[in-house]
Protein backbone atom coordinates (compact mmCIF):
# COMPACT_ATOMS: atom_id res chain seq x y z
CA UNK A 1 0.00 0.00 0.00
CA UNK A 2 1.32 3.42 -1.04
CA UNK A 3 0.05 6.83 0.06
CA UNK A 4 -1.06 9.44 -2.45
CA UNK A 5 0.35 12.34 -0.45
CA UNK A 6 -1.62 15.41 -1.46
CA UNK A 7 0.06 17.56 1.16
CA UNK A 8 3.55 17.02 -0.25
CA UNK A 9 2.44 17.35 -3.88
CA UNK A 10 0.54 20.57 -3.16
CA UNK A 11 3.53 22.05 -1.35
CA UNK A 12 5.72 21.36 -4.39
CA UNK A 13 3.20 23.03 -6.71
CA UNK A 14 2.94 26.04 -4.38
CA UNK A 15 6.73 26.42 -4.45
CA UNK A 16 6.64 26.51 -8.24
CA UNK A 17 3.92 29.17 -8.23
CA UNK A 18 5.80 31.18 -5.58
CA UNK A 19 8.91 31.27 -7.79
CA UNK A 20 6.85 32.65 -10.69
CA UNK A 21 5.25 35.28 -8.44
CA UNK A 22 8.68 36.29 -7.13
CA UNK A 23 9.76 37.00 -10.70
CA UNK A 24 6.70 39.19 -11.16
CA UNK A 25 7.60 41.18 -8.06
CA UNK A 26 11.19 41.64 -9.21
CA UNK A 27 10.01 42.99 -12.56
CA UNK A 28 7.50 45.33 -10.91
CA UNK A 29 4.46 43.67 -12.47
CA UNK A 30 0.99 43.29 -10.98
CA UNK A 31 0.60 40.46 -8.46
CA UNK A 32 -2.23 37.89 -8.83
CA UNK A 33 -5.18 38.75 -6.59
CA UNK A 34 -7.78 36.27 -5.33
CA UNK A 35 -10.92 37.40 -3.51
CA UNK A 36 -13.46 35.40 -1.53
CA UNK A 37 -16.93 36.10 -0.19
CA UNK A 38 -17.89 34.32 3.03
CA UNK A 39 -21.42 34.52 4.40
CA UNK A 40 -22.24 33.39 7.92
CA UNK A 41 -20.14 31.29 10.26
CA UNK A 42 -20.27 27.71 9.03
CA UNK A 43 -17.38 25.88 10.70
CA UNK A 44 -16.23 24.02 7.59
CA UNK A 45 -16.39 27.15 5.45
CA UNK A 46 -14.49 29.20 8.04
CA UNK A 47 -11.73 26.60 8.12
CA UNK A 48 -11.53 26.29 4.34
CA UNK A 49 -11.39 30.06 3.81
CA UNK A 50 -8.64 30.48 6.42
CA UNK A 51 -6.54 27.90 4.52
CA UNK A 52 -7.15 29.73 1.25
CA UNK A 53 -5.93 33.02 2.73
CA UNK A 54 -2.87 31.23 4.11
CA UNK A 55 -2.16 29.58 0.74
CA UNK A 56 -2.28 32.94 -1.02
CA UNK A 57 0.23 34.38 1.44
CA UNK A 58 2.55 31.40 0.94
CA UNK A 59 2.74 31.80 -2.84
CA UNK A 60 2.77 35.61 -2.77
CA UNK A 61 -0.73 36.26 -4.12
CA UNK A 62 -2.74 39.19 -2.83
CA UNK A 63 -6.00 38.13 -1.22
CA UNK A 64 -9.19 39.85 -0.10
CA UNK A 65 -11.84 38.35 2.15
CA UNK A 66 -15.30 39.89 2.23
CA UNK A 67 -17.30 38.65 5.24
CA UNK A 68 -21.04 39.15 5.64
CA UNK A 69 -23.64 37.97 8.11
CA UNK A 70 -26.37 35.52 7.09
CA UNK A 71 -29.05 38.22 7.18
CA UNK A 72 -27.81 40.06 4.06
CA UNK A 73 -30.19 40.08 1.10
CA UNK A 74 -29.66 38.34 -2.19
CA UNK A 75 -29.66 41.71 -3.98
CA UNK A 76 -26.87 42.92 -1.68
CA UNK A 77 -24.79 39.85 -2.47
CA UNK A 78 -25.37 40.22 -6.20
CA UNK A 79 -24.22 43.84 -5.94
CA UNK A 80 -20.99 42.77 -4.21
CA UNK A 81 -20.38 40.16 -6.90
CA UNK A 82 -20.84 42.79 -9.59
CA UNK A 83 -18.30 45.02 -7.83
CA UNK A 84 -15.75 42.18 -7.97
CA UNK A 85 -16.62 41.47 -11.60
CA UNK A 86 -15.79 45.09 -12.44
CA UNK A 87 -12.67 45.39 -10.26
CA UNK A 88 -9.67 45.11 -12.59
CA UNK A 89 -7.32 44.41 -9.68
CA UNK A 90 -9.19 41.19 -8.81
CA UNK A 91 -8.12 38.35 -11.12
CA UNK A 92 -10.48 35.74 -9.73
CA UNK A 93 -12.91 35.26 -6.89
CA UNK A 94 -15.13 32.70 -5.22
CA UNK A 95 -18.34 32.74 -3.24
CA UNK A 96 -17.83 30.14 -0.51
CA UNK A 97 -20.41 27.37 -0.58
CA UNK A 98 -22.74 26.25 0.86
CA UNK A 99 -24.79 29.43 1.09
CA UNK A 100 -27.53 30.03 3.66
CA UNK A 101 -30.90 28.62 2.58
CA UNK A 102 -32.44 31.95 1.54
CA UNK A 103 -30.04 32.29 -1.40
CA UNK A 104 -30.54 30.81 -4.85
CA UNK A 105 -27.12 29.18 -5.16
CA UNK A 106 -27.20 28.75 -8.94
CA UNK A 107 -28.30 32.37 -9.43
CA UNK A 108 -25.32 33.52 -7.37
CA UNK A 109 -22.90 31.32 -9.34
CA UNK A 110 -24.35 32.58 -12.63
CA UNK A 111 -23.67 36.18 -11.56
CA UNK A 112 -19.90 35.61 -11.49
CA UNK A 113 -18.27 36.56 -14.77
CA UNK A 114 -16.79 33.34 -16.27
CA UNK A 115 -13.34 34.88 -16.68
CA UNK A 116 -13.10 35.31 -12.88
CA UNK A 117 -14.90 32.10 -11.91
CA UNK A 118 -11.84 30.34 -10.47
CA UNK A 119 -14.05 27.80 -8.70
CA UNK A 120 -15.08 26.60 -12.17
CA UNK A 121 -18.79 26.40 -11.28
CA UNK A 122 -20.26 28.82 -13.86
CA UNK A 123 -22.25 27.08 -16.64
CA UNK A 124 -19.91 28.57 -19.25
CA UNK A 125 -16.87 26.95 -17.62
CA UNK A 126 -18.78 23.72 -17.08
CA UNK A 127 -19.86 23.66 -20.71
CA UNK A 128 -16.36 24.36 -21.97
CA UNK A 129 -15.04 21.57 -19.75
CA UNK A 130 -17.56 19.11 -21.23
CA UNK A 131 -16.45 20.07 -24.75
CA UNK A 132 -12.76 19.81 -23.86
CA UNK A 133 -12.18 23.53 -24.39
CA UNK A 134 -9.88 25.72 -22.22
CA UNK A 135 -11.69 26.59 -19.01
CA UNK A 136 -11.44 26.79 -15.24
CA UNK A 137 -11.93 23.23 -13.99
CA UNK A 138 -13.46 23.04 -10.53
CA UNK A 139 -10.73 22.77 -7.93
CA UNK A 140 -11.30 19.28 -6.50
CA UNK A 141 -11.41 17.43 -9.86
CA UNK A 142 -8.44 19.51 -11.02
CA UNK A 143 -6.53 18.61 -7.85
CA UNK A 144 -7.31 14.90 -8.26
CA UNK A 145 -6.05 14.91 -11.85
CA UNK A 146 -2.85 16.65 -10.70
CA UNK A 147 -2.40 13.98 -8.02
CA UNK A 148 -2.82 11.19 -10.58
CA UNK A 149 -0.27 12.91 -12.83
CA UNK A 150 2.30 13.29 -10.08
CA UNK A 151 2.18 9.62 -9.11
CA UNK A 152 1.79 8.46 -12.73
CA UNK A 153 -1.38 6.53 -11.99
CA UNK A 154 -2.43 5.10 -15.33
CA UNK A 155 -6.11 5.74 -16.10
CA UNK A 156 -6.19 4.73 -19.77
CA UNK A 157 -8.58 1.85 -20.32
CA UNK A 158 -9.09 1.46 -16.57
CA UNK A 159 -12.43 0.72 -14.96
CA UNK A 160 -13.19 3.71 -12.70
CA UNK A 161 -16.08 3.96 -10.25
CA UNK A 162 -17.00 7.37 -8.86
CA UNK A 163 -19.21 7.34 -5.76
CA UNK A 164 -21.26 10.55 -5.91
CA UNK A 165 -22.71 12.72 -8.67
CA UNK A 166 -22.35 16.28 -7.36
CA UNK A 167 -21.76 19.12 -9.81
CA UNK A 168 -18.64 20.03 -7.81
CA UNK A 169 -16.82 16.67 -7.84
CA UNK A 170 -18.45 13.52 -9.20
CA UNK A 171 -20.02 14.78 -12.40
CA UNK A 172 -17.10 16.90 -13.71
CA UNK A 173 -14.56 14.24 -12.69
CA UNK A 174 -16.48 11.58 -14.61
CA UNK A 175 -16.20 13.72 -17.74
CA UNK A 176 -12.51 14.55 -17.28
CA UNK A 177 -11.54 10.90 -16.74
CA UNK A 178 -13.43 9.76 -19.84
CA UNK A 179 -12.02 12.42 -22.17
CA UNK A 180 -9.23 11.85 -24.69
CA UNK A 181 -6.08 12.87 -22.85
CA UNK A 182 -3.22 11.15 -21.03
CA UNK A 183 -4.97 11.08 -17.66
CA UNK A 184 -8.36 10.25 -19.12
CA UNK A 185 -9.52 7.53 -21.52
CA UNK A 186 -11.05 5.59 -18.63
CA UNK A 187 -14.30 3.64 -18.57
CA UNK A 188 -16.23 5.54 -15.91
CA UNK A 189 -19.22 4.41 -13.86
CA UNK A 190 -20.80 7.07 -11.64
CA UNK A 191 -22.97 5.69 -8.85
CA UNK A 192 -25.32 7.48 -6.47
CA UNK A 193 -28.03 6.91 -3.89
CA UNK A 194 -30.35 5.32 -6.46
CA UNK A 195 -27.74 2.96 -7.92
CA UNK A 196 -28.13 -0.79 -7.53
CA UNK A 197 -25.32 -3.29 -6.88
CA UNK A 198 -22.84 -0.66 -5.71
CA UNK A 199 -20.66 -3.24 -3.98
CA UNK A 200 -20.38 -5.36 -7.12
CA UNK A 201 -19.52 -2.31 -9.25
CA UNK A 202 -16.80 -1.27 -6.80
CA UNK A 203 -15.30 -4.75 -6.71
CA UNK A 204 -14.82 -4.60 -10.49
CA UNK A 205 -13.16 -1.18 -10.31
CA UNK A 206 -9.43 -0.60 -10.68
CA UNK A 207 -9.82 2.98 -9.44
CA UNK A 208 -12.46 4.11 -6.93
CA UNK A 209 -13.12 7.76 -6.14
CA UNK A 210 -15.35 8.19 -3.07
CA UNK A 211 -17.19 11.52 -3.03
CA UNK A 212 -20.56 10.82 -1.40
CA UNK A 213 -20.11 12.70 1.88
CA UNK A 214 -20.97 9.57 3.87
CA UNK A 215 -18.32 8.78 6.49
CA UNK A 216 -16.62 5.40 6.00
CA UNK A 217 -19.08 4.31 3.30
CA UNK A 218 -16.46 2.35 1.34
CA UNK A 219 -15.45 -0.74 3.29
CA UNK A 220 -12.95 -3.55 2.83
CA UNK A 221 -15.41 -5.97 1.25
CA UNK A 222 -16.16 -3.44 -1.53
CA UNK A 223 -12.57 -3.10 -2.78
CA UNK A 224 -10.53 -5.50 -4.91
CA UNK A 225 -6.85 -6.25 -4.31
CA UNK A 226 -4.54 -3.64 -5.86
CA UNK A 227 -7.20 -0.97 -6.40
CA UNK A 228 -6.40 2.74 -6.33
CA UNK A 229 -8.70 4.53 -3.88
CA UNK A 230 -9.14 8.31 -3.73
CA UNK A 231 -11.13 9.62 -0.77
CA UNK A 232 -12.77 13.01 -1.30
CA UNK A 233 -14.86 12.93 1.87
CA UNK A 234 -14.23 15.34 4.75
CA UNK A 235 -17.07 15.00 7.24
CA UNK A 236 -16.70 16.39 10.74
CA UNK A 237 -17.59 13.75 13.30
CA UNK A 238 -17.56 13.99 17.07
CA UNK A 239 -14.35 12.81 18.75
CA UNK A 240 -13.16 12.77 22.35
CA UNK A 241 -9.59 12.31 21.15
CA UNK A 242 -9.14 15.87 19.85
CA UNK A 243 -9.14 19.28 21.51
CA UNK A 244 -11.72 20.61 19.05
CA UNK A 245 -14.14 17.80 19.88
CA UNK A 246 -14.34 16.57 16.30
CA UNK A 247 -12.21 14.91 13.63
CA UNK A 248 -12.29 14.82 9.85
CA UNK A 249 -13.47 11.49 8.52
CA UNK A 250 -13.37 10.39 4.92
CA UNK A 251 -15.81 8.35 2.86
CA UNK A 252 -13.41 5.38 3.09
CA UNK A 253 -12.90 3.14 6.13
CA UNK A 254 -9.16 3.67 5.82
CA UNK A 255 -7.85 1.08 8.32
CA UNK A 256 -9.85 -1.68 6.62
CA UNK A 257 -9.43 -0.64 2.99
CA UNK A 258 -5.81 0.53 2.83
CA UNK A 259 -4.12 -2.92 3.15
CA UNK A 260 -5.86 -4.00 -0.07
CA UNK A 261 -4.88 -0.91 -2.08
CA UNK A 262 -1.94 -0.24 -4.36
CA UNK A 263 -2.46 3.49 -3.71
CA UNK A 264 -4.78 5.40 -1.38
CA UNK A 265 -5.27 8.97 -0.19
CA UNK A 266 -5.40 9.74 3.53
CA UNK A 267 -7.91 12.06 5.23
CA UNK A 268 -6.72 14.64 6.01
CA UNK A 269 -3.68 15.22 3.80
CA UNK A 270 -4.91 13.74 0.54
CA UNK A 271 -7.44 15.46 -1.70
CA UNK A 272 -7.98 18.51 0.55
CA UNK A 273 -4.59 20.18 -0.06
CA UNK A 274 -4.90 19.39 -3.78
CA UNK A 275 -8.29 21.15 -3.92
CA UNK A 276 -6.74 24.27 -2.44
CA UNK A 277 -3.81 24.22 -4.84
CA UNK A 278 -6.28 23.74 -7.70
CA UNK A 279 -7.79 27.09 -6.78
CA UNK A 280 -4.33 28.70 -6.84
CA UNK A 281 -3.63 27.24 -10.29
CA UNK A 282 -6.94 28.61 -11.59
CA UNK A 283 -6.15 32.04 -10.13
CA UNK A 284 -2.77 31.96 -11.86
CA UNK A 285 -4.50 31.13 -15.16
CA UNK A 286 -6.99 33.95 -14.60
CA UNK A 287 -4.12 36.35 -13.97
CA UNK A 288 -2.34 35.32 -17.16
CA UNK A 289 -5.65 35.53 -19.12
CA UNK A 290 -4.82 32.34 -20.98
CA UNK A 291 -8.45 31.20 -21.15
CA UNK A 292 -10.55 34.37 -21.59
d(C-alpha 36, C-alpha 139), whole Å: 14
Residue of 14, 52, 116, 281 marked active site: 52
Residue of 91, 119, 231, 251 marked active site: 119
What CA–CA distances, in Å, run from 75 to 19, 79, 126?
40, 6, 25
Q: Can 23 be counted among the known catalytic residues?
A: no
d(C-alpha 129, C-alpha 117), whole Å: 13
Q: In 144-245, where do the E strands start and end? A: 159-163, 187-191, 207-210, 227-231, 235-238
**Dihedral sign of CA atoms 14, 235, 94, 141 in order:** positive
Exposed/middle/buried for 277, CB within 10 Å: 0-12, 13-18, 19+? Answer: buried
Q: Can 199 be counted among the known catalytic residues?
A: no
* H helix or E strand, kind and range, residue 179: none
CA nearest neighbour of 38 among 81, 119, 96, 107? 96
Q: Can 96 be counted among the known catalytic residues?
A: yes
CA nearest neighbour of 173 among 156, 157, 182, 161? 161
CA nearest neighbour of 176 among 216, 145, 214, 221? 145
Q: In 224-278, where do the E strands start and end? A: 227-231, 235-238, 246-249, 261-264
CA nearest neighbour of 290 among 282, 119, 28? 282
Residue of 5, 55, 91, 96 marked active site: 96
Q: Which positions are catalytic? A: 52, 96, 119
Amino acid sequence: MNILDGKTVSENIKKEIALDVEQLKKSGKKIPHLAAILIGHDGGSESYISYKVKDCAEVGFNSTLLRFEENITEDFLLHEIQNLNNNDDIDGFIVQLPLPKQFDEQKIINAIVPSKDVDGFHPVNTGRMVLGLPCFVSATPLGIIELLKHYRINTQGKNVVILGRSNIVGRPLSILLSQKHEYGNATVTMVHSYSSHIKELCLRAEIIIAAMGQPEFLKEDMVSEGAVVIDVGTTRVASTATKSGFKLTGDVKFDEVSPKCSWITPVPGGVGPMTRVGLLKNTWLAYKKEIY
